[in-house]
Every structure is written in structure tokens, then in C-alpha cells.
């Protein structure tokens, strides 16, 4: 084995220093509105992959036996129940006009032409104060981003 001269001899960890990422995030928060308004329109080529995997299935759901879900789950109750990939062209025009053209889409285990892999269904604006998914969450660059305490 050859010695690596780029390795430090000493590593000092202190509890009284702030994470350097905080300063970067504070700058991004201050300039959020500036960056939000940089582009009046854009287009993008997208590749989206969707995956739903079960790692520990219950024996029953609502009293019904799960079994192996028609071969999707192995003997340990694990398996991939949905896998889809798509390629599309996405267009945006300020303030909120979007268009998505699906170029190709494939879903494992099915020859259906439908896939839930459209980017437009999951798009969000990180420059807003709150992001709305199944519930509202504070944007990482919201004014209140550093006021939120995460509780586990």
C-alpha cells in the first residue's frame, strides 16, 4: 500500500462552530425572490423514474390476505410493486403556465399506455414559502426555514 500524502495528520471537531451550509442557505433565502424571477420561461428534457417497493408487507390489509400479490412479493414479503420510466419535454411560462409532452413511457409488468410518471403531476416551486404535497411543508429557502425545529 502506498501512503497518501493528501490525508491530514489531525482532524479537529468543535461544537462551537456553525455548519458552513447555514451561511449559504441564508444567502439563498435573502435572494429567493431575485432567483424566482430570473426566468420568464424555460423548457427542459426530463427523465423520470418511479419506484414503489414493499420491504415488509403485512399479512392482511382490511382483513384480506395479502399473499404474494400475484407474484410481486417474494417469500419474505418484499418486492417491487411499481416501476415506471418516462421521457418528456417540459415547458414553463411565468407565472404558472406549464405543458408537458410525453415522448416515451414504459411500466414494468404491464403493457398499459398509462403511467403515473408525469413530471407535471409532481412539480413544485421551491421559491414559495410552503410546498404542498399530501401536506404543506416549509420550503428549505423560506423566510422561516431556520425557525422550524425538527422533532423526532
User: Each residue of 21-59: pLDDT tens digit?
Assistant: 889 999 999 999 898 888 889 999 999 888 888 888 888
- For residue 110 the three cell numbers come to 404491464
107 in the same domain as 43:
yes
Helix, strand counts (H, E) of the chain:
2, 7
- For residue 95 the three cell numbers come to 407565472
Greater confidence (152 vs 112) lies with: 112
Answer whether residue 78 is part of any domain.
yes
| Structural domain span for residue 143 | 122-152
Per-residue pLDDT tens over the stretch 101-143: 989 888 886 656 566 677 777 667 888 888 887 788 888 899 8
**pLDDT tier at 15 (50, 70, 90 boundaries)?**
confident
| Global pTM value | 0.56
What element of type H or E holds 27? helix 20-30
Plot region of 63 (φ>0 → left; ψ -120 to 50 → alpha; else → beta): left
Answer whether residue 8 is part of any domain.
no
Answer whether residue 4 is part of any domain.
no
Across the chain, what does the average pLDDT equal?
Answer: 83
- For residue 6 the three cell numbers come to 493528501
CA 38 from chain centre, in angstroms, equals 23
Query: Percent of the chain having pLDDT more than 90?
Result: 18
67 in the same domain as 49:
yes
129 in the same domain as 63:
no
Per-residue pLDDT tens over the stretch 60-77: 888 888 888 878 888 888
Query: Quick check: 19 pLDDT over 60?
Result: yes
Answer whether residue 46 is part of any domain.
yes
71 in the same domain as 98:
yes
Answer whether residue 13 is part of any domain.
no
108 in the same domain as 71:
yes
Per-residue pLDDT tens over the stretch 82-92: 888 889 999 99
Answer whether residue 19 is part of any domain.
no
3-state secondary structure 37-62: CCCCEEEEEEEEEEEEEECCCCCEEC
Answer whether residue 3 is part of any domain.
no
112 in the same domain as 43:
yes
Answer whether residue 18 is part of any domain.
no
Number of domains in the chain: 2
Least Cα distance to 100 among 84, 112, 118 occurs for: 118
92 in the same domain as 49:
yes
Distances (CA, A) of 44 to 50, 90, 91, 117, 148: 19, 5, 7, 16, 33
Dihedral sign from CA coordinates of 69, 73, 78, 81? negative
Amino acid at each position: 500500500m502506498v501512503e497518501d500524502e493528501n490525508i491530514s495528520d489531525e482532524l479537529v471537531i468543535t461544537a462551537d462552530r456553525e455548519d458552513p451550509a447555514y451561511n449559504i442557505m441564508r444567502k439563498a433565502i435573502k435572494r429567493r425572490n431575485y432567483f424566482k424571477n430570473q426566468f420568464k420561461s424555460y423548457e427542459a428534457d426530463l427523465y423520470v423514474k418511479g419506484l414503489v417497493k414493499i420491504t415488509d408487507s403485512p399479512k392482511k390489509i382490511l382483513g384480506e390476505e395479502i399473499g404474494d400479490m400475484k407474484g410481486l412479493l417474494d417469500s419474505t414479503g418484499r418486492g417491487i410493486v411499481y416501476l415506471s420510466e418516462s421521457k418528456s419535454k417540459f415547458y414553463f411560462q411565468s407565472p404558472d403556465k406549464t405543458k408537458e409532452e410525453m415522448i416515451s413511457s414504459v411500466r414494468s409488468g404491464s403493457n398499459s399506455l398509462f403511467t403515473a410518471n408525469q413530471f407535471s403531476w409532481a412539480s413544485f416551486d421551491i421559491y414559495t414559502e410552503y410546498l404542498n404535497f399530501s401536506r404543506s411543508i416549509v420550503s428549505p429557502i423560506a423566510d422561516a426555514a431556520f425557525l422550524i425545529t425538527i422533532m423526532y
